[in-house]
Amino acid sequence: MTEAKACIDALFIQVGACNPSGVARSIVAMCDAARDGWGDPAVGAQGTDCVRQHPAVRLAVHQLAFLCGVGGVLSVADYDTLMNYCKTKAGAELPECLR
């Protein structure tokens, strides 16, 4: 999984995913890919802090928390920052419905 793909997945999750197990599986895939440097040998392996702080991971976790009734995990400013990061990273691969 590339970083752009993770960001697109996170944006799709954020706009309406309702299956906690599907979201959880996506989070695992994102974490694995981030830890492995998004498949880019130039990036190399990443540590736990880098993975857990990545905007795509955080957006997906935010939706999972919402689905499980855990509220108030992000401020509006933090939410906007994560959304904008993912949209920027997705770049030209961002589907029109997520713009």
How high is the pLDDT of residue 69?
85
DSSP track, 25-75:
HHHHHHHHHHHTGGG-TTT----HHHHHT-HHHHHHHHHHHHHTT----S-
Residue type, 11: L
Q: How far apart are CA 62 and CA 75, in angstroms?
A: 11
Q: How far apart are CA 54 and CA 3, in angstroms?
A: 10
Q: What is the pTM of this model?
A: 0.84
pLDDT greater than 70 at residue 58:
yes
How high is the pLDDT of residue 73?
67
pLDDT greater than 80 at residue 78:
yes
How high is the pLDDT of residue 72?
66
